[in-house]
Amino acid sequence: MAALRGEDAGPRSHTEDDLSIPLGLSAWIVRAAVDLPTAYDSLLTMRRALVTAAGLDARTEPVPLRLSDPRAALRSLGAYLYELVGRAARHVGVEPVELAERTLAVLEEQ
C-alpha cells in the first residue's frame, strides 16, 4: 500500500502550510477510487495493523479523534500515522520501510 510505504511522500516539514500529507493522501484516494469515509476507515485499519506489527501496546497507543470535517480528519490521521511509523520503527529497531512490509503482512493475514 503506497500510503503505508510513504511512496511519493518526500520529506515533511510538519508545518501548517506543508502540503505533502494532504497531497499524498489525495493522490492515494484518487488512485484507489475511494470516498473520504472509506479512506479514513482504511487508514484506521492500517493503524491497527501497524500497532500489531510493531508490538506496541494497543491499550496505551492513542487513537486519533475523528474530526467533523472529513478532509481535516484525514490530514490529522495522515500526520499521526506518519509519526507513528517512525516511532514504531524505532521501537522495533528497523527502518520504516521494513516495518511497512511487516504491517502489510499483518494486513494480508486479516
Query: How far apart are the C-alpha atoms of 110 and 107, rounded to whole Å?
Result: 5
Count of positions (residues) in the chain: 110
The model's pLDDT over 14-23, given as tens digits with 9 standing for 90+, comes to 555 677 888 8
What number of CA atoms fall less than 13 Å from residue 99's CA on the CB side? 28
Residue 38's pLDDT band, with cuts at 50, 70 and 90, is very high
Percent of the chain beyond pLDDT 70?
84
Q: How high is the pLDDT of residue 9?
A: 46
> Between helices 36-54 and 70-92, what is the axis angle to 10°?
10
Residue 63 pLDDT class (50, 70, 90 cuts): confident
How far apart (Å, rounded) are the C-alpha atoms in residues 31 and 38?
13
DSSP 101: H
Question: Residue 7 is part of which domain span?
Answer: 2-109
Total domains in the fold of the chain: 1
pTM assigned to the model: 0.79
pLDDT in tens, 74-95: 988 998 999 999 999 999 999 9
What mean pLDDT value characterizes the chain? 85
88 vs 86: CA distance, rounded Å: 6
- Specify the range with the lowest mean pLDDT, choosing from 3-17, 37-51, 85-99: 3-17
